[in-house]
Chain A
Amino acid sequence: MSDFDAAAFLRTRSVLILNTDPDVRRRSAAKAFSTNNLWFRSILSRAIAWLVLCAGVVSSFDSATALAQEPLHVRINQIVENSTLGPRGEKAGDLAFLRRIHLDLTGRIPSIDQARAFLADAAPDKRTKEVDRLLASPDYARHMALVFDVMLMERRGGVHVKSDELQAWLRTSFEQNRPYREIARDFIAADGTPEKQRPASAFFLEREVEPNLITREVGRMFFGIDLQCAQCHDHPNIDDYLQTDYYGLFAFVSRTTLFRPDPKQPAVLAESPTGAASFKSVFTDRQAITGPRAPGSVEVTEAAFSPGDEYKTEPAKNVRGIPKFSRREKLAELIGAGGNRYFDRNIANRLWAIMLGRGLVHPVDQHHSDNPPAIPELLDLLSTEFARTDYNVRSMLREIALTDIYQRSFQLPANLTLSVEVARKSIPELQQLAATTSKSVDEKRTESDALLVQLDAALAEARPLRVELGKAVAAGQAAAKTRTDTATAVAAAQAKFDAKQKQATAVSEVAEKAKAASGILTADAELAAATKTLEAKAAALVAEATKLKAAVDAAQKPATAAEVALAAAATAIEPHRVKLAPFEAKILERRAVFIAAQRELYSRRETLRSTERRVSFLEALVALDSSERQVAALTQALPATTVAAEIAQKEATAAQTALTAATAAMKTATETEATTASILAATTKAITENQAATKLVGETLASARASLKQLPQDADLTAAVAKLDSSAARIATELAATQQVLPAQTKAAEDAKSVLATATAQLATATTTQQAAAKKNTETAAMLTQTKTQLAAATVIANESSTAVIAQATAQFNIAYVDPLTPEQLAVSMMQATGRVEQLRAGEAARINKAAPLSEADLKDAAKVAARENEIDEATWAKAVASSAGFVNLFAGQKGQPQDAFFATVDQALFFANGGDVQSWLAPSGTNLTARALKLEEPKALAEELYLSLFTRLPTDEEVRETADYLAQRKEERSAAVQEIAWALITSSEFRFHH
C-alpha cells in the first residue's frame, strides 16, 4: 500500500492546468508522474509544452523518444502507483492469475492439467510466458472474434450476414493481428459486396441501414459516446453531447441506404451524392446545418462534382448508385487513418474493459467530461500508446495482462484505511483545486458559449448563400436529368434509325444486284417483278429511315439544348460556390475555434470531476478512519463504562436498602420516643397527683385527728381516721413506688430521644447517600446508553464509509473486479470443467479419423498430424459453441441492447437446477470429471480433483473435510453424492463470476 502523495499530485495537477493544450497536458502528465524531482518535473513539462507549441506538430509529436524507454506495462504500473489512492488488493496467486488470463484471452477456464502444469512450473517468468502462449494460440483469435462480435453487434446478426461469417472474418483479422483502425474502417467501408469485406457490412446491414440507428451506434461503438438523446436537442443530462455532433455523424451515414432489388440476392449498400444534415432543436429552436464531422473535429472537405457527374455508377433499376464522393467512405477513411481522440480513447478503454471487466470510463459508451476515467492519466497513456503502436491489439492486451493492476487479487485487504493524515491534509488542498478549476470551467464555458454564438452567426450568414447554391445545384441536377432524358431519347431514336438504315441498306443492295441481274436476264419476267418489289421495298425502307433520321434530328435538338442548359447550369453553380467559399471558410475557422474551446472546457471539467471524485474518496477514507477509531475507542470504553454502570447500580441499590433501613429505624425510634415520653409524662402526672393526694389526705387526717382528740369515742371518726391513715399509707406507698420507677422511665425517655436523634441523623445521611448514588447511577446509565448509541452510529458510518471506499477502490481497480462470466464463457467453462469438451473432442476425432483415416506415412508427417489436430480442434469448438446457444438465450441481454448489464433470473437457476444439459455433463462417463473423481478413494484427492477442475484452486482443509462429510453421509450413493458436490460447486458464485 502506498501513501498518496497529495502535494506531488497537486503540483502535477497545477502544471497540467497551466498548459492549455490537452496533448501537452496528457504527455506532461505521463512524464511528470514518471519523474521524481518536482522542480525538474515542472520545468520539463513546461519545456515540452513550449517545444510542442513552437514546433506546431502536436499531433505528430512522438512521445516515444521521451517516454518509451520502458515497456508499457511498467509505465502503467508507475502511473497507477502515483495516481491512485486507497487500499489495494495483494498480488493474485498463480492459479487465480491463470484462471483469469485464460478467461480473458481464450474465453474459458484452464483445464485441470493446465492448472497442475502451471503450479509445477518453477520459472519466475511463467506468467509472462503463459500470456504469450495464449496470445499465440488459436483460442485467442477465436475468442476475440466473439468478444468483438458481441461488443459491436450486441447479438444482432443473421438477417443479412451470418454471425459465423462475421466471426470468421474477425478471427482472421485477429490472427493476422491487423491494426484495429483497419478493422474498424472495414466495418464502415464494407458495402456488402464480396470484394469489399462483405462480413464487415454486418454493422450497417444488420441495423437495416437505419440512419439514426447507425449514427447512434457509430457514436457508441467507435467514438464511445451515446448521442441518442442528442437527436432532437442537445443532451438534457450530458453537457458534452450536442445535437450538432449527432448530425455531424449523421451526415456521414444518412445518404447510405439498403439496396436489395432482388430478394434472392444479398443486400448491399447504395449511396446518394445528395442529402443534407439539417436539424432544429425541439427545445431551443436553434437550427443549423452541418457537414459530415467526426466528434471533436471540423467538417471534412468534400469534393464537389458537377451535376450529372456525381456518380461513379448511376443508380438504375437493379443497379445501386455509387457516388464519386462517398461520405461513408470518407468516415471509413477518417477512422482508418486513426488519430481521432475520441476513437483512440474509446478503443483503448474497451480493450481495458475486455481485460479488467470494466472500463476506465464506465459505461464504455459514456465518455464525457462529467464521467472522467477512473485514472485519467492512464487512459491518456493507453490511447496514445495504442495509436503509437499502430493499433496493435495483441500487444496492447499483452501489456495490460502484465501490469500489477491486472494481476491484483479480488479479495479485500484486511485494512481499508490509508495514511489518513495525508488524506486529511490533502482534502482542503484538493477542494481548493476543485474551486479554482470550477472557476476556470465557468470561464471557459462562457468563452465557449460566446464562440458558439459566433459560429451560429457565421452559419446564419452563410445560410442564404447556401440556399442559393442549393437552388443552383438543384437546377443543375434538374438540367442533368433533362440532359440524361433527352440523350436517352436521342439514343433511342438513333437506335431505331440505325436499325432501319441497316435494313434499307441491305434491301437496297439486294435490289441493286437484282436490277443488275434483270439487266442481264431481260426476258425473265419473274425476276423483273421481283426486282420491282425489291426496289419498292428499298424505297419504302429508305423513306422510313429518312423519317427516323428526322426524328433523330428532332430529338437531337432538345438534347443539344439540354447539353447547353446543363453546361450553363453547371457554370452558374460556380459563382455561387465562389461566393460561398469565404463564408464556408469562416464557418470552418469558427468551428475549429469553438471545438478547441470546447475541448479545453471538457478537459477542465474532467479535471474538476476527477478532483471531486478524489475528494469524495478521501473524505470517505477519512470518515472510515475516524469512524473506525471511534468504534474502536467506544468499543474499548464500553466494558469500563459498563462496569462503572454496574457498580453505580449496585451502590444505588445498597444506598436504597440503607435508606430503607434508616427510615425504618427512624420510624421505630420515633415511636419509642413517643411511647417513653408518654409513659414518663404519665408517671410524672401520677406523682404530682399522689403528692396532691398525700397533701390532701394529710391535711384531712390532721383535721380528723384533731377532731378525734375532741371526740375520742366517736367510732365513726375513729374509723375514718383509720381509713385515712390507711389511705395515706397506701398513697405514700404508691408515691414511693412511682417515684422509684421515675428515674428509669426518665432515662428510658432520654435514651429514646437520643436514639431518635441518632436515627434522624442517620436518615439524613442515608438520604444524601441514596440521592448521590441514584444520581450517579442515572449518570453512568446515561453514559452507557450514550456510548452504545455512539457506537451504533459510528458503526453505521463505518459501514457506509467502508462501502463507499470499497466502491471507489473497486472503480479504481485497486481490487480486481468481480464480474459475471459472459454466457459463452459460462457455457464453455462448464463444458471444460466437467470434461464435456474432452468428450466432444473424442467424438469429433473418431468421426474425422474414420471419414478420412491418416495413413501410416501420414502419421509420421508432423505437418499432417498437426493439421489433423487442428481440424479436430475446430470441429470440437464448433460443437461446443453450438451447445452454448441455450446459455446465450438465458443469460445474454436482449438483441441490440448493451450486453454488460448483469441479471440473475429464476429461469437461469431452474435451468441449472433441473435442466438436462448440466445434469448430463455431470453424470459420470468415460474420463469426465465425475468419473475421474469417483475413482479416487481418498476424500482429499477427490476434493482436489473437483476444486482444481472447477475452481482452478486447491481445496482448503475445511473444504476437504466438508467433502468427506458429504460423502460419508451418502455412503450408499457415492456416485450421486459426487455429482451433487460437483453441482454445488459449479452453481456457486465462485464459478459464476470472473474474479
Chain B
Amino acid sequence: MKCQYSCQTGEHVLARRDFLGMLTGGFVVGGLGALATPAVSAVLQKEQKRVLVVYMAGGLSQLESWDPKPKTDTGGPFRAIQTATPGTHICELLPKTALHMDKLALVRSIDTKNGDHGKGSYQMTYGRNQMPGVEYPHIGAVSAKALERSDNPLPGHIRIPGGSRGSDAAYLGPKYASIGMNGKPPANSARAANLTEQNDALRNQFRQKVNDRFSLKRRTAETDVYTQSYEQAKQLMEKRDVFDVEKEPAAEHEKYGKHDFGKHCLMARRLLENGIPFVQISHSNYDTHNENFNFHLEQLGEFDQSFATLIGDLHERGLLKSTLVVVMSEFGRTPRINARFGRDHWGTAWSVCLGGAKIQPGAVIGKTNENGTKVIDREVDHGDLFHTYLSALDLDSRGSFDIGGRAQPMADPAAGPIDELIV
C-alpha cells in the first residue's frame, strides 16, 4: 500500500495526525505537514483569526489614557470621563474611544520591571526578557505561523509603515518575518509583460503534470508545501490590489483622517479584512520627558479619531469577534511629574488596552493604588500578556511549535495567560 497523502477526508487526515501524534508523543501546533493539507486547516480553522497591534512608540502615559488619577498629586490636569462601560472611566483625551469601551478591555496592573526603550519594546512584542545570545520570534511571527491558513496566500506578518523585510521570526523562519508595507504590492507579483495569462496557465499545467508524476514516486509534506506555494502565488497575483490603500474611497480617507496614522489605520483595516493574520501600526512619539500634557493632548487627539473609527468599523463589519486588537507601548510613564512638566520612563504600574477575539468586552483587570504608583491587584507582566494574546486567539499558549524536530514553546513557559480575561 502506497502512502496515501491524497486521501483527503477531514476525519482521515485528522486521524493520521492523531496517530502520528501518538507515535511521536508529540507537539502538534503548526509542524510542517500539519497544516500542509487544506483539509486539516479547514477543520482546524473555520475562521481566520487576526491580530492588530497599535504600538504607541516611546511609552504612552497610562495616566493620560487608560488609568487616569484625577485630583491626585500625580493626576495631571485632565479629567476622567465615563465610557460605554458603566463604571469604567478613561482620560478625557479619548472621548471617541470611550464610546467603544464596551467592546474593549483594560489591563491596569502591568509591572514589567524595566525602564529601557529597547528592552521594553522587546518585552512587549516578544513576550520575554531579552537574553544575550538567544533569539525568539516576534508576536507578529508567532501569529503569522499559528494563524496561517493554506488557503490564504497573503503574507502573514505586516508592519506599517516600512519597506523591507524584518529579521524578527527567529526559529520560525523568514516566511514569518515582518514585511514593511509602503502601499505597494509585493515584489514579483506582476506577470512578465511578454507572458499572457493563458500561456502562464499552460506552463503551470505542465509543471503540475511533472509534479504529479514525481509524487507518484515519492510524496512528502515538503514536496506538497512546495507545489502548494505556486498555487498561493497565483492567488496572490490576483489579490495585488489588497495592498493599495488608494483603492479605498475618498470618504473612507476622510473618516480616518488624512494624517499618516489615519492612513495607516485604514490600510490596517483593508489588510485585516482581506484575511492578513497580523498587522502592526505605530503611532509616535509618546516619549514625553518634557511637556507631557501638551504632547498627549495633541497626539491622542489624532489617535482617538482614527483608532475609534477603526474599532467601530471592525465591529460593524463583524471582524472584531475574530480580530484581537492590542494598544501597547514599551512601558508607561512615571506618576511623578518632573520639573519640565514631563513624565519619565515607568514600567512599574501601567496599562494596555485590548479587545476583540476572545477578550471579554468591557473587562478591567487589575488595579493600581490611589495615585498610580504601584500595582495593588492582579499584577501581570509582558509574559502573561503574551500568553493572553494567544489564548484570545484560541491557541494553546502553553503549546509548542515543532521546528525541524525541535520543540519551541510558543510563549515563555514561566508565564501564563490572564484566564479571567478570556471569554
By a CB distance below 8 angstroms, the chain B residues around A212 are 131-134
By a CB distance below 8 angstroms, the chain A residues around B71 are none
Expressed in whole angstroms, the minimum distance between the Cβ of A611 and any Cβ of chain B is 15
Within 8 A of A (CB), among B337-366: none
B203 touching A995, Cβ below 8 Å: no
Q: Which of A631, A909, A970 contacts B233 (CB 8 A)?
A: A909
Chain-A contact segment, one of B47-55, B208-216, B251-259: B208-216
By a CB distance below 8 angstroms, the chain A residues around B228 are 904
B153 touching A906, Cβ below 8 Å: yes
Q: Which of A214, A901, A914, A995 contacts B404 (CB 8 A)?
A: A901
The complex places the Cα of A620 from the Cα of B225 at a distance, in Å, of 26
The complex places the Cα of A226 from the Cα of B406 at a distance, in Å, of 10
Q: Which of A207, A890, A892, A906 contacts B133 (CB 8 A)?
A: A207
B175 touching A903, Cβ below 8 Å: yes
B191 touching A914, Cβ below 8 Å: yes
Q: Which of A362, A363, A902, A981 contacts B32 (CB 8 A)?
A: A902
Query: Could you give, for residues 964-995 of chain A, a 1 whenever the CB lies within 8 Å of some chain B CB and a 0 otherwise?
Result: 00100110010010001101110111101101
A820 nearest in chain B by CB position: B222
B174 touching A893, Cβ below 8 Å: yes
By a CB distance below 8 angstroms, the chain A residues around B170 are 894, 897
The complex places the Cα of A962 from the Cα of B192 at a distance, in Å, of 25
By a CB distance below 8 angstroms, the chain B residues around A992 are 223, 226
Expressed in whole angstroms, the minimum distance between the Cβ of B30 and any Cβ of chain A is 12
Q: Which of A362, A798, A915, A981 contacts B1 (CB 8 A)?
A: A798
A703 within 8 A of B: no
A981 nearest in chain B by CB position: B206
By a CB distance below 8 angstroms, the chain B residues around A897 are 135, 170-171, 173
B423 within 8 A of A: no
Most chain A CB within a 10 A radius of its CB, from B174, B175, B177, B190: B174
A411 nearest in chain B by CB position: B217
Expressed in whole angstroms, the minimum distance between the Cβ of B13 and any Cβ of chain A is 10
Query: Could you give, for residues 221-245 of chain B, a 1 whenever the CB lies within 8 Å of some chain A CB and a 0 otherwise?
Result: 0110111111011001100000000
Expressed in whole angstroms, the minimum distance between the Cβ of B313 and any Cβ of chain A is 27
B250 within 8 A of A: no
Within 8 A of B (CB), among A863-915: 890, 892-898, 900-911, 913-915
Expressed in whole angstroms, the minimum distance between the Cβ of B91 and any Cβ of chain A is 39
Q: Which of B1, B188, B227 contacts A989 (CB 8 A)?
A: B227
Within 8 A of A (CB), among B70-87: none
B16 within 8 A of A: yes
By a CB distance below 8 angstroms, the chain B residues around A890 are 174
A363 touching B405, Cβ below 8 Å: yes
A800 touching B15, Cβ below 8 Å: yes
The complex places the Cα of A911 from the Cα of B236 at a distance, in Å, of 13
B274 within 8 A of A: no
A804 nearest in chain B by CB position: B23
Expressed in whole angstroms, the minimum distance between the Cβ of B166 and any Cβ of chain A is 10
By a CB distance below 8 angstroms, the chain A residues around B407 are 237
By a CB distance below 8 angstroms, the chain B residues around A411 are 217-218
A616 touching B232, Cβ below 8 Å: no
By a CB distance below 8 angstroms, the chain A residues around B175 are 903, 905
By a CB distance below 8 angstroms, the chain B residues around A804 are 19-20, 23
Chain-A contact segment, one of B2-10, B304-312, B385-393: B2-10
A894 touching B173, Cβ below 8 Å: yes
B207 within 8 A of A: yes
A910 touching B169, Cβ below 8 Å: no
A236 within 8 A of B: yes
B12 within 8 A of A: yes
By a CB distance below 8 angstroms, the chain A residues around B206 are 962, 966, 980-981, 984
The complex places the Cα of A631 from the Cα of B20 at a distance, in Å, of 21
Expressed in whole angstroms, the minimum distance between the Cβ of B82 and any Cβ of chain A is 45
A628 within 8 A of B: yes
B19 touching A800, Cβ below 8 Å: yes
A755 within 8 A of B: no
A410 within 8 A of B: yes
A799 touching B223, Cβ below 8 Å: no
By a CB distance below 8 angstroms, the chain A residues around B214 are 988-990
A474 within 8 A of B: no
Report the count of interface residues on B (CB-CB < 8 A): 70
By a CB distance below 8 angstroms, the chain A residues around B191 are 913-914
Would you call the interface of chain A mostly helix, strand, loop, or mixed? Answer: helix
B204 within 8 A of A: yes
Report the count of interface residues on A (CB-CB < 8 A): 79
Q: Which of A214, A362, A799, A898 contacts B171 (CB 8 A)?
A: A898
B45 within 8 A of A: no
By a CB distance below 8 angstroms, the chain B residues around A802 are 1-4
Q: Given A212-B133, A897-B171, A962-B209, are A910 and B236 neighbors across the interface (CB < 8 Å)?
A: yes
B199 touching A628, Cβ below 8 Å: no
Query: Could you give, for residues 399-420 of chain A, a 1 whenever the CB lies within 8 Å of some chain B CB and a 0 otherwise?
Result: 0000000000011100010000
By a CB distance below 8 angstroms, the chain B residues around A815 are 218
A210 within 8 A of B: yes
A816 nearest in chain B by CB position: B218
Within 8 A of A (CB), among B121-138: 131-135
A216 within 8 A of B: yes
Expressed in whole angstroms, the minimum distance between the Cβ of A926 and any Cβ of chain B is 20
Expressed in whole angstroms, the minimum distance between the Cβ of A250 and any Cβ of chain B is 11
B318 within 8 A of A: no
By a CB distance below 8 angstroms, the chain A residues around B188 are 907, 910-911, 913-915
A895 touching B167, Cβ below 8 Å: yes
A722 within 8 A of B: no
B1 touching A799, Cβ below 8 Å: yes
B301 within 8 A of A: no
B155 touching A416, Cβ below 8 Å: no
By a CB distance below 8 angstroms, the chain B residues around A989 are 210-211, 214-215, 223, 226-227
By a CB distance below 8 angstroms, the chain A residues around B213 are 959
A396 within 8 A of B: no
B3 touching A803, Cβ below 8 Å: yes
A896 nearest in chain B by CB position: B135
A806 within 8 A of B: yes
Expressed in whole angstroms, the minimum distance between the Cβ of A927 and any Cβ of chain B is 23
A898 touching B23, Cβ below 8 Å: no
Within 8 A of A (CB), among B173-215: 173-175, 177, 186-192, 194, 199-200, 202-204, 206-207, 209-211, 213-215
By a CB distance below 8 angstroms, the chain B residues around A908 are 229
The complex places the Cα of A656 from the Cα of B344 at a distance, in Å, of 93
A628 touching B3, Cβ below 8 Å: no
17 contacts between A and B (CB under 8 A): A412-B3, A412-B217, A802-B3, A803-B19, A818-B218, A901-B173, A902-B222, A906-B229, A910-B233, A980-B199, A984-B204, A984-B206, A985-B207, A987-B207, A988-B211, A993-B222, A995-B218
Give 10 nearest A-B pairs by CB, closest first. Answer: A213-B133, A909-B233, A980-B203, A984-B207, A910-B188, A984-B206, A901-B404, A904-B229, A988-B210, A909-B229
Apart from A210-B132, A799-B7, A976-B194, 12 more pairs, CB < 8 Å = A800-B16, A815-B218, A894-B169, A903-B32, A903-B225, A906-B155, A910-B236, A914-B189, A914-B191, A966-B206, A989-B214, A989-B227
Q: List residues of chain A with CB under 8 Å of any chain B CB.
A: 207, 210, 212-214, 216-217, 226, 228, 236-237, 362-363, 366, 410-412, 416, 616, 620, 624, 628, 631, 796, 798-800, 802-804, 806-807, 815, 818-820, 890, 892-898, 900-911, 913-915, 919, 959, 962, 966, 969-970, 973, 976, 980-981, 983-985, 987-990, 992-993, 995
